[in-house]
Amino acid sequence: MKFTFENLVEAVIGIAFAVIVFGNIFSKAGYSRWYGVAMAIPPLNIVVIIWFAFSTWPIERKLLGMQFGDSPGAIRRDES
């Protein structure tokens, strides 16, 4: 099998698409979009996806803080 210029272009487009998609996923969870770049590095992507799945996301911490009134922007029921 011969590696051609077209193969290189397809690989670059595929990697760029994956970085953008994973960057959006990380961003919606409250992390930096730069974690999407880590998903393009083969040994690191396994570690990052396991960490991502089992960690408490920043957006999750913020929502829990708002629910229990621990967040600075949370609305407290006892205030009038």
Residues 63 and 74: their CA atoms lie apart, in Å, by 9
Tokens for 25, please give them.
Answer: 């996923």
Give pTM, 2 decimals. Answer: 0.71
CA-based torsion, 76, 78, 79, 80: positive or negative: positive
Question: Which token pair is 62?
Answer: 């913020």
Side chain identity, residue 52: F
For residue range 26-40, what is the model confidence (pLDDT) as tens digits?
999 889 999 999 999
**Span 32-70, pLDDT tens digits:** 999 999 999 999 999 999 999 999 888 888 888 887 776
Measured CA to CA, the distance from residue 28 to residue 57 in angstroms comes to 10
